[in-house]
Amino acid sequence: MNKRLFIGLAALLFSCTKDKSCGECNTESGFVNATIIDSGPIETDGCGWVVKLGDDKFYHPDALEDEFKQNNLSVRICYESAKDEFRCGIAALTMPVLHIIAIK
């Protein structure tokens, strides 16, 4: 019995080291205000769905659930920055990619 408990705790601890989901996203302080923006279809030189943080910082989410695909939708997100950059539009605009861990 103790061996199973130890293995379970060890697995939980190791899974928490990669992202915020095991700590900060379990508390309200791990969330920030954001706005979901529809910048237009990528196929027609838009940037698709983007996340606006603060007054002028735009990010491309690596995934966004359909229920949150609403233009100018105010949300609270817990996220982590990805190492990737997303290029879009005719001018090849570059924006950082973020991974949304939790959204409400």
Q: Which of 95, 4, 5, 7 is nearest to 53 (CA)?
A: 95
The pLDDT of residue 80: 94
Which carries the bigger pLDDT value, residue 80 or residue 20?
80
Binning pLDDT at 50, 70 and 90, where does residue 8 land? very low
Query: Which residues, 6 or more positions from 93, have their beta carbon under 8 angstroms from its beta carbon?
Result: 47, 87
Please report whether residue 68 resides in a domain: yes
Rounded distance, CA 100 to CA 51, Å? 10
* Overall number of domains in the chain: 1
3-state helix, strand, coil in the chain (%, to 5): 30, 40, 30
Within a domain: 28: yes
35: in domain: yes
Does residue 93 lie in a domain region?
yes
What pLDDT is stored for residue 37 in this prediction? 96
Structural domain includes residue 8: no
Position 24 scores a pLDDT of: 74
- 38-94 residue pLDDT tens: 999 999 999 999 999 988 899 999 999 999 999 999 999 999 999 999 999 888 889
Q: Which letter does DSSP use for residue 18 in this model? A: S
State the pLDDT at residue 23: 66
What is the CA angle 35-38-42, rounded to 5? 135
Q: What is the pLDDT of residue 7?
A: 41
Q: Does any domain span residue 14?
A: no
Question: Is residue 13 a part of any domain in this protein?
Answer: no
Residue 70: which domain range? 20-103
Q: What is the mean pLDDT of residues 25-44?
A: 92
What is the structure's pLDDT at 27? Answer: 85
Q: Which of 83, 44, 43, 91 is nearest to 60 (CA)?
A: 83
Residues making up the chain, counted from first to last: 104
Examine residue 44 and state whether it is found in any structural domain, yes or no. Answer: yes
